[in-house]
Amino acid sequence: MSGLQSRLESGADAKAAVLVEALPYIRSFWGDIVVVKYGGNAIGGSEDLDLFAQDVVLMRSVGMRPVVVHGGGPQIGEMLGRLGKKTEFRDGLRVTDAETLDIARMVLVGKVNREVVSAINRHAPIAVGLSGEDAALIMASERDPELGFVGDVDQVDPGIIHRLLAQELIPVIATIGTSAGGQAYNINADTAAGAIAEALHATKLVYLTNIEGLRRDVNDPASLVTTLSVDELEGMMSDGSLGEGMIPKVASCVAAVRAGVGRAHILDGRVPHVLLLEIFTREGVGTMVCP
């Protein structure tokens, strides 16, 4: 056997091993709803977005039912900067006056949502863009007058999502909510994704961000936590070991798993095919939160 043939067969064996390892997970998750929150921090460029789109389409192709909920904080911040408008954060949430709300809607619904939908549809024409304002998907109310038009999720009506899933489509949701009176609110995307996962009784809630998972020590990558319970996660929240930007994400993980979502995952969305590595392999690559 030549050296080239040996290398080719070795590569084929490795690919076959990956497929065999993935098979039981594909069977296990067939028909299950997986809510994926694609954070603005995870969008490092068009190549990252394209790899994410490939993962989502493959998940759908093997029988899973992905629902994408996206943020766009960095993109909103960039637009505000270009317009000369300062940004203030409190407890990880952007203070949102009327002008900032208009800019957030423009960026989330008109730019980021279209980019994510387009990226998925390049691989298969199955993505449909939505906002939380569509079909009363996300009903919201003011969180705190000092935060302006930042909303809390009061209710999620998943009817439009179920109808799209029944047609084998992938909903892509921008997190602008609305009140009963028609007032729009900027909803934290982590919070919205958790609420949507609860309403859909999702098997998994996955957060893609710009860090590899939760760390015992924020400044020490070697302190990555691969698996922990909801009780342990609440302990990390109470002892102050989490960074401010992680608080909404972690709180949403806790609430979702407490409400019956099977597992919550925090992954580094910049890692190529991180969704597939986490869902279809034994080891996984990020942090998994269990009941």
Write out the chain's pLDDT in tens, 291 residues: 444 444 434 556 666 777 778 888 888 899 999 999 997 666 656 678 999 999 999 999 999 999 999 989 889 999 999 999 988 888 778 899 999 999 999 999 999 999 999 999 999 999 999 999 999 999 999 999 999 999 999 999 999 999 999 999 999 999 999 999 999 999 999 999 999 999 999 999 999 988 888 888 777 888 889 899 999 998 888 887 777 667 888 889 999 999 999 999 999 888 888 898 888 887 678 899 999
Residue 159 lies in a domain: yes
DSSP character at residue 221: G
Full domain range(s) for residue 136 = 30-290
212 is a domain residue: yes
- DSSP assignment of 229-280: EHHHHHHHHHTT-S-GGGHHHHHHHHHHHHTT-SEEEEEETTSTTHHHHHHS
Residue 25 lies in a domain: no
Nearest to 128 by CA among 137, 136, 118, 138: 118
CA distance 291 to 289: 7
Encoded tokens for 94: 């952007």
Residue 172's CATH number = 3.40.1160.10
In contact, 73 and 94? CB cutoff 8 Å: yes
In a domain, 13, yes or no: no
Any bridge partners for residue 153, and if so which? 140
Residue 21 included in any domain: no
In a domain, 74, yes or no: yes
Number of structural domains the chain divides into:
1
pLDDT at residue 222, rounded to an integer: 81
In a domain, 134, yes or no: yes
- Assess if residue 227 is contained within a domain: yes
